[in-house]
A and B are shown apart, each in its own frame.
Chain A
Amino acid sequence: MSDQAMRDAWFPVGLLSGLTRAGTASMLMGEDITVGLDDTGAPSVDCGGRKLPTVERFGHLWTSLGAPEKDLFTIPEADHPERTLVDVGVVRVKCSPLRAVENFLDIAHFPFVHTDILGEEDHPEVNNYKVEVRKDEDEVWATKVEFYQPQAAASAGGGIITEYMYRVPAPTCSVLYKTCPPRPGEWDVICLFVQPLTEELCDVWPWMALFDDTSTITDLIHFQQLIFLQDRSILENQIPKKLPLDPALETPTRADLTSVAYRRWLKRHDYTYGAQLVAE
């Protein structure tokens, strides 16, 4: 299998607010790139003298090593003018970029990794939920995911049953829609945008679009960074390092159906950069 399908995908490479004319050295799928502003002040990504295509969206600059057939996905809910948009920053993680997304989709780890925040060891149950690949959008969706959380968000006053929807619109991106404590009926939007530096190293750019009138931006960033730093120690110690697409190496169960749907979707599209194809 080749990496062409992944090369034709869009990836985040930096915060728009952090771009400079001097540029920043980075990597994308093993290739050196420079991310910055060109002579006109427009965002620019250079790869060995080749100017890569760019998109500015969700507070980030996105690029591709190939020729994307589709525009970068959208998040209509994030356009609501009363939402607070939060650029969380970047966390470097020594793991496969696909592992980072798969971990984000795994609700069953909350009580054990995010104890007393996103889950409690006394409430580890994951009720049945619905997983599908939506054919029109060609995206993985998990809906009707319900889970007890003692501190679901920075704005939550106490424990609540949180409802989640997960969406995978691109091979290294996941969007989480989550019960919004201060505004019932609306969803908080929490995104994980992952830049594949190599097959076993990635930069993770979380981004949020929230209804929260009380927390400061610093509070919101600290809450999300706390959660992700708890994940990092798990991610960096997973074996194998790459995400196995053959279930012989890890035995998925019904609670892992979102992960299985994600892996099937990756396999279907040859999105295999960062994946382990055969059990060894």
Chain B
Amino acid sequence: MTTTPLSNRRRRLTIQGNLASPSFLPWVERHSARLGLFCENLQAEETQVSFEVEGQEELIDALEVGCLLGPIDVWVESVEQHPAPSAS
């Protein structure tokens, strides 16, 4: 039996919504770490947060889905995922 090796991706996630809570960025970092992902180049405004992560596609997808729900004190309108500019 052969297995397909899991490949890493580097992606930029852009979250939009009502994100003004001070708890949100630490929550993003914690949730990423829980999935074994590390956030880099994080940029934050009240209505948009974006950052880069590298890891297995399925885990980045899980981070995207988790961020869509977010912590209780923010409202996430959308999460978009794109290849990170620094991707090789």
- Residues of A at the B interface (CB closer than 8 Å) are 245-248, 251-254, 256-257, 260, 263-264, 267-268, 277-278
List A contacts of B40 (CB < 8 A).
Answer: none
User: Contact: B35 with A251, CB < 8 Å?
Assistant: yes
Instruction: Identify the 4 closest CB pairs spanning chains A and B, nearest first.
Output: A247-B66, A277-B72, A247-B69, A252-B65
CB closest residue in chain B, given A252 = B65
- The CA-CA distance from A268 to B71 in the complex, in Å, is 12
User: Contact: B66 with A263, CB < 8 Å?
Assistant: no
11 further interface pairs, Cβ-Cβ under 8 Å (given A251-B35, A254-B61, A277-B72) = A246-B70, A247-B69, A248-B34, A248-B71, A251-B66, A252-B62, A253-B58, A253-B65, A267-B69, A267-B75, A278-B71
- The CA-CA distance from A256 to B3 in the complex, in Å, is 25
User: Contact: A268 with B75, CB < 8 Å?
Assistant: yes
User: Contact: A263 with B69, CB < 8 Å?
Assistant: yes
User: Contact: A248 with B61, CB < 8 Å?
Assistant: no
- The CA-CA distance from A253 to B60 in the complex, in Å, is 10
Chain B, 64-79, contact with A by CB distance < 8 Å: what is the 0/1 string?
0110111110011000
List B contacts of A245 (CB < 8 A).
Answer: 69, 72
Q: How many residues of B are in contact with the other chain, CB < 8 A?
A: 17
CB closest residue in chain A, given B68 = A260
User: Contact: B61 with A246, CB < 8 Å?
Assistant: no
17 sample A-B contacts, Cβ–Cβ < 8 Å, listed by A number: A247-B65, A247-B70, A248-B30, A248-B66, A248-B71, A251-B35, A252-B62, A252-B66, A252-B69, A253-B58, A253-B62, A253-B65, A254-B65, A260-B69, A264-B68, A267-B72, A277-B72
List B contacts of A247 (CB < 8 A).
Answer: 31, 65-66, 69-70
List B contacts of A268 (CB < 8 A).
Answer: 75
Chain B residues 35 to 88 lying within 8 A of chain A, measured CB to CB, are 35, 58, 61-62, 65-66, 68-72, 75-76
- The CA-CA distance from A21 to B49 in the complex, in Å, is 59
